[in-house]
Structure 1
Amino acid sequence: MPSSPTVIAISGPPAVGKSTLARGLATRLTLPLLSRDAIKEALFDTLGYDDRLQSKRFGAAAAAVLFTQLTDILGAGTSCLTESNFRRTHSSDDFRRLVKDTGARVVQVQLTADGPTLLKRFAERSATAERHPGHGDQNNLDEFSAELLAGAYEPLDVPGDVLTIDATDPAAVSLDDLAAQLATLLDHPTHPPTSPPA
């Protein structure tokens, strides 16, 4: 095992497939996964939801909780994964502070996609039950359209490896291969998902 814990930070624009990929990697790497949206949606379910301003406030609160949890887990010497739309301008300072406080290494997995495909995927997802209604995505298309059409984020301004994955066609992304690549960086064994007993 490496001498310091590692946080695998999975990022990219909305609707690029971060949550699905993160869950698959967490299973294969047998590492805990922390998601900002999971925290935010728990706040929606507990406190209710109303408008975009409230969603942004909950988002800020969820980010604060996320980095507190990451500090605790990494500070205990345990590697983990985290996923969110970590923007370079918003989240680099948080990750630098995390590295300073815990001694952790950061490995970034940056998901990208063709811009028009991503915009279409975002619009389609907002009309289904796949997305928690508290996010209000059906009303946010104009706000996110430029970001979606760009198709990618700049990596965080933190030291460490950066893996860029084209997720335009999610079926073309091999979770097993990516998990093996990350396991090599972590010196950590992978565990392919097992089928439930018949």
Structure 2
Amino acid sequence: MAEEVVLVNGLPGVGKSTLATTLASRLDVELIAKDVLKERLATNADAPSPEAVGAVASELVWSLAAQYQGRVILDSWWYRPRDLRYAAEGLRRSGALRAVEVWCSAPVDVIRERYRRRTRSVLHDDQHRLATDWEVWAATAEPLAITPVLRIDTLVPIDIAELAARIEAVLMPAESRAWRSGSDVNRRRRRVEKDAQG
């Protein structure tokens, strides 16, 4: 099972997939992207509706995460009012001991224009989502916040090395953080105890 999970989240069109791909390369870890899974699932003319494919892909994200050892990055749009409980359960199923959410944001008008200009398979139902869901999404989008959250502005160049270091710091096991921060104190305490015994 995955020991550490990095959730890359944010509105459609914000730049999650670009960031997740670059980050996975930098950290040398597996990347599971929901949109990629959707496209692989819908490989024939008899494919079910976009909603049905999306539901299967969402389930597959967590099932695959549970099969990886070490660290894995998950790229998806988790809408908090809709997906909070499902994502929390998915994390539990993945077996992750530690997790962090990278929340991608940018001015809403910029994200909307990026989303509008997308030329993807109709499988993703982008134009329908833009017409029916976008305004509500944009007004209420926020991190899941079931893990520590790192906020990233995708409108400006992202220092991947810095972001990777921030992720590493958050995912460091608590025991390691305590050991590193308290190592000098522990050594001094052991010396005092040894002197007292001698």
* TM-score category (smaller protein): 0.7 to 0.9
What is the aligned counterpart of 1:154 among 120, 134, 142? 142
| CA distance 1:184–1:118, change in 2 (3 Å) | same
Sequence identity percentage: 28
Gapped regions of structure 2 (runs ≥ 5): 174-198
1:177 aligns with 162
How do residues 20-59 of structure 1 correspond to structure 2 at under 5 angstroms?
Answer: 20-46=18-44, 54-59=49-54
SS of residue matched to 1:24: helix
Distance 1:175 1:155, change over 3 A: same
Cα distance 1:149–1:157, how it changes in 2: closer, same or farther (>3 A)?
A: closer
Q: Does residue 1:137 correspond to 2:126, yes or no?
A: yes
Answer 1 or 2: which has greater helix percent.
2
Considering Cα pairs closer than 8 Å and 6+ residues apart, tell me whether 1 or 2 has the greater RCO.
Answer: 1
Q: Give the aligned CA root-mean-square deviation in angstroms.
A: 2.4
5+ long unaligned stretches in structure 1? 189-198
Q: What amino acid is aligned across from residue 85 of structure 1 in structure 2?
A: W
Number of positions where the alignment pairs a residue of Structure 1 with one of Structure 2: 171
Pairs within 5 Å for 1:84-95: 84-95=76-87
Given candidates 52, 68, 76, the residue that maps to 2:63 is 68
Structure 1 residues 147 and 26, CA, compared in 2 at 3 Å: closer, same or farther?
A: farther
> Is structure 2 residue 86 aligned with structure 1 residue 97?
no
* Of 103, 111, 116, the match for 1:123: 116
Distance (whole Å) between structure 2 residues aligned to residue 164 and residue 95 of structure 1:
18
**What is the Cα deviation at residue 143 of structure 1?**
1.7
* Aligned pairs for 1:100-111 within 5 A: 100-101=92-93, 102-111=95-104
Q: Which position in structure 2 is the counterpart of 1:194?
A: none
Inter-CA distance 99–63: structure 2 relative to 1 (3 Å threshold): closer
Larger radius of gyration: 2
Q: 1:64 to 1:24 in 2, by over 3 A?
A: same
Deviations 1:123-153 (A, max 9, x none): 112xx3xx23321323432123314643x72
TM-score normalised by L of structure 2: 0.76
Using structure 1 for the length normalisation, give the TM-score.
Answer: 0.76
